[in-house]
Structure 1
Amino acid sequence: MFSGNLFALAGFALVMSISPGPSNVMLLASGMNFGFVRSLPLLFGVTCGFLSMVLLVGLGLGEVLAMSPAVYLALKILCAVYVLWLAVKIARSGAAGTAGDPSMARPIGFIEAALFQLVNPKAWAVALIVTASYTDPSRYLASLMLLILVFAVVNVPSIGVWSLFGQALRRAIGEGRRIVWFNGAMAVLLVASMLPVLLRA
């Protein structure tokens, strides 16, 4: 039965992966500032972090969080702090080329990107939906592993498009102040994309 849903799962994975979200905003900004190749650790960190979340949700983490309001509140606070830190990092990365700030002279790395998925509301929503909708109760673990494999195959090229688009934008926008303004806009967009979940009661 599950194999008949593979095309539907692949379509869902494509739409969810390529649609705008916090991780794709980071990939766009990284592609713009550092190019596609230097953004690959960020890209693979996003994918691995998300797939790890799907695995954990599939094994019961979602139910644990639902029954632990204190843990959920702590996660939201960590989310707010981490998102603001990433936004500052993105906003300052444009100035790094002119100001020579070595701490901002590299893209967001693999570990940072993977950890970000733990506080990414879009990633949580997709993980919860996909494990509930596309697993087979009679072969749960096997279908969960197949789900993760399909998402991995679809997710990497889908989110990679955002980084490639950012690299293409660099040629159009050029250097200097326009990149600084672009990074500031991406930082604001990142925070704005997280506000609905952060402000939810």
Structure 2
Amino acid sequence: MPLETFAALLMLTFAGTWTPGPNNAMLAASGVNFGLARTIPHVNGVWLGFAGMVFVVAIFLGEAFQQSALLRETLRWGGAALLLWVAWQIATKGGLPSAAGEAKPFTFWQAAAFQWINAKAWVMAVAISAQFVHPEAPWLTASLVALAFALAGVTSSLGWAAAGQGLRRFLADPVRLRVFNAVMGLSIALGVALMVMDGPVGQP
């Protein structure tokens, strides 16, 4: 892959990963409610999980995803349902419930697994892989695409979680914190509504 092509790929991945979406809203909420240190497993699960997903999609699943209406619809509605549940948990409790009923941050594996039902992640993975993965060198170009997403993802994940951490003092007031969590939950729910109205993932 020429250097200028990789630079264009980096620009796209940085723009895509930094823009608001379910991952970034949840990372910001986790930074506010649990602090940056406790959110690091969530951060690592997002950028590593997404980079790994992109690689697998680029090599194996991109064409199947485009061709299978059942796969797209399963992702669309299953992802929407899970996102709405996450939005409710953040809006009402600030995080996911633990076995004891208290809120807790995402674990590494929860965050990594979440990428596979995140519609925004699928759209980015399929669209960018289709543009940059070369059929004559699929493994190399897929690896470069995954690397670009990893570089962009680690900065955006840390950035959004750190932004949440920075708001902790302002949101130390319980009323402000409840309002913030409600806004974060609502933003995720609105994103779900837009995703559903836009139609099947990966289709025009």
TM-score, scaled relative to structure 2: 0.87
Gaps of 5+ in 1: none
Q: Specify the code of the residue in structure 2 equivalent to 1:79.
A: G
Q: Specify the code of the residue in structure 2 equivalent to 1:31.
A: G
Which string of whole-angstrom CA distances, capped at 9 and with x for unpartnered residues, describes residues 80-134 of structure 1?
Answer: 22112211221233499xxxx9433311222222222122222112111221222
Partners in 1 of 2:155 and 2:62 — Cα distance? 27
Which string of whole-angstrom CA distances, capped at 9 and with x for unpartnered residues, describes residues 47-98 of structure 1?
Answer: 12211221222123122133322232222221122112211221233499xx
Cα offset for 1:33? 0.5
Q: 1:24 is matched with which residue?
A: 24
Q: Specify the code of the residue in structure 2 equivalent to 1:77.
A: W
Partners in 1 of 2:65 and 2:8 — Cα distance? 28
**Corresponding residue to 1:106 among 104, 114, 138:** 104
Cα offset for 1:136? 3.0
Gaps of 5+ in 2: 200-204
1:84-163 matches, cutoff 5 A = 84-94=84-94, 102-163=100-161
Q: 1:68 is matched with which residue?
A: 68
Q: 1:36 is matched with which residue?
A: 36
User: Would the aligned equivalents of 1:22 and 1:193 in 2 still touch at CA under 8 Å?
Assistant: yes
Cα offset for 1:28? 0.7
Q: How many residues align?
A: 197
TM-score, scaled relative to structure 1: 0.88
Partners in 1 of 2:103 and 2:95 — Cα distance? 9
Q: 1:8 is matched with which residue?
A: 8
Most deviating of 167-176 and 17-26: 167-176
The alignment-based identity, stated in percent, is: 34
Partners in 1 of 2:141 and 2:68 — Cα distance? 28
Which string of whole-angstrom CA distances, capped at 9 and with x for unpartnered residues, describes residues 178-197 of structure 1?
Answer: 11121111111111112222
Partners in 1 of 2:162 and 2:23 — Cα distance? 14
User: Would the aligned equivalents of 2:30 and 2:105 in 1 still touch at CA under 8 Å?
Assistant: yes
- In the alignment, is residue 82 of structure 1 matched against residue 82 of structure 2? yes
Root-mean-square deviation (Å): 2.1
Greater helix share, 1 or 2?
A: 1
User: Would the aligned equivalents of 1:33 and 1:93 in 2 still touch at CA under 8 Å?
Assistant: no
